[in-house]
C-alpha cells in the first residue's frame, strides 16, 4: 500500500486547489491512499509561541502524517506570482524541531489550479528553493498546472472537467509509479 499526504494551500472552502486535491484523492490508482491533511488550524509562525508552548498539535499531526507517507503532494494556489503564505507557513512550522528530518529524502510533487491563464507556473517554480532547502526529492517527471479553473470547477469547488480529471489521474499515477519504482521509504 502506497500512502501520499496531500496538502492544499488554500483555506477557502470552495477553493479550486482543495477541489483539485479531492479529485486527486478520487482518481488515485488502486493500492494508493491519498490522505488529505489540513493546514487550517496552524497559527502563524512565532518563535516566542514555539518557545513558550512548543510545536502546536495541528503541526505535530501533519508531521506524523508526513512521516507515515511515502510521498507528499502539494496543491498550491498562486498569489501575486508566488506561493501562498498559509501553505508556506505550514511547511515552515512542520520543519521546526524534529520535523525537518521527516522531509529529508521525501518525494514531493507539486500541482495547482488558478483562474488565470498560466495555471500556477510561478508558484510551482517558487516552491523549488523551499523543497531543496528541506532536502526533499521533487518529482519532475510530470507537471500539472490547471488554468482557467473557473470554467473547470463547479460552485462547490468540485472538478467537473473530464479532460482535466484524466490529466490529474495520469499525474497521480505517474507520481505513484515513481514512489514504488524508487522504493520511496
Taking the C-alpha atoms of residue 50 and residue 29, their distance in angstroms, rounded to an integer, is 39
Signed CA dihedral, 148, 120, 32, 181: sign only: positive
Residue 183 pLDDT: 58
Taking the C-alpha atoms of residue 91 and residue 83, their distance in angstroms, rounded to an integer, is 11
Query: How many CA atoms does the CB half-sphere of 64 hold within 13 Å?
Result: 8
Residue 171 pLDDT: 98
Residue 182 pLDDT: 67
Taking the C-alpha atoms of residue 23 and residue 28, their distance in angstroms, rounded to an integer, is 9
Residue 184 pLDDT: 46
- Per-10-residue mean pLDDT for the chain, 185 residues long? 97 96 98 97 97 97 98 97 97 94 98 94 96 97 95 97 98 96 60
Residue 112 pLDDT: 98
Taking the C-alpha atoms of residue 167 and residue 173, their distance in angstroms, rounded to an integer, is 10
Backbone angles phi, psi at 159, to 5 degrees: -70, 125
List of domains in the chain: 2-182 (3.40.50.360)
Element (H, E) at 110: strand 107-113
Amino acid at each position: 500500500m502506497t500512502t501520499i499526504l496531500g496538502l492544499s494551500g488554500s483555506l477557502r472552502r470552495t477553493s479550486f486547489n482543495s477541489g483539485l486535491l479531492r479529485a486527486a484523492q478520487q482518481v488515485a490508482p488502486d493500492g494508493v491512499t491519498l490522505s488529505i491533511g489540513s493546514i487550517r488550524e496552524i497559527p502563524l509562525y512565532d518563535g516566542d509561541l514555539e518557545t513558550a508552548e512548543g510545536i502546536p498539535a495541528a503541526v505535530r499531526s501533519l508531521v506524523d502524517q508526513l512521516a507515515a507517507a511515502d510521498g507528499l503532494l502539494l496543491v498550491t494556489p498562486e498569489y501575486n506570482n508566488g506561493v501562498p503564505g498559509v501553505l508556506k507557513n505550514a511547511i515552515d512550522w512542520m520543519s521546526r524541531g524534529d520535523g525537518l528530518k521527516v522531509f529529508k529524502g521525501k518525494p514531493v510533487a507539486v500541482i495547482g489550479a488558478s483562474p488565470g491563464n498560466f495555471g500556477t507556473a510561478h508558484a510551482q517554480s517558487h516552491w523549488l528553493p523551499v523543497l531543496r532547502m528541506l532536502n526533499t526529492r521533487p518529482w519532475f517527471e510530470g507537471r500539472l498546472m490547471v488554468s482557467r479553473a473557473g470554467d473547470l470547477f463547479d460552485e462547490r469547488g468540485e472538478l467537473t472537467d473530464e479532460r482535466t480529471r484524466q490529466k490529474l489521474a495520469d499525474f497521480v499515477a505517474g507520481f505513484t509509479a515513481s514512489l514504488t519504482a524508487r522504493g520511496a521509504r
